[in-house]
Amino acid sequence: MDWQERITIDPNILVGKPSIKGTRLAVELIIDLLAQGWSTDEILRNYPGISLEDIQACLSYASTILKAEKVYTIPA
C-alpha cells in the first residue's frame, strides 16, 4: 500500500499533522482507535467519510515512520 496516495501533511490542516486526504481526520486518531480495540468496521461506521484503504494507509504510514526512527543511547 502506498500511503502517500491517501495521507497528506498540510500545515493548513490540523497544524500539519498527517491526515487522511479530503478529511480532517488525523492518522494519529485512527491509530489510537485501533490501539483502543476498535475494529475497522466500527471506525468505518463512525467515520463514514473514510474507507478501509484509508485505515490501511494510516497503518502503513505509521509503519514507515517507525522504521525510519533512530534511537541513540546517551552516555551516563
On whether residue 28 sits in a domain, the answer given is: yes
What is the domain count for the chain? 1
Tens-digit pLDDT profile for residues 49-74: 999 999 999 999 999 999 998 888 99
What's 55's domain CATH number?
1.10.10.10
- What number is the average pLDDT over the span 7-14? 96
In a domain, 29, yes or no: yes
Specify if 74 maps to a domain.
Answer: no
DSSP string covering 5-46: GTEE--TTSGGG--EETTS--BHHHHHHHHHTT--HHHHHHH
Give the global pTM: 0.89
Q: Establish if 23 belongs to a structural domain.
A: yes
Q: Is residue 52 one of the residues assigned to a domain?
A: yes
The boundaries of the domain holding residue 26 are 3-67
Quick check: is 60 in a domain? yes
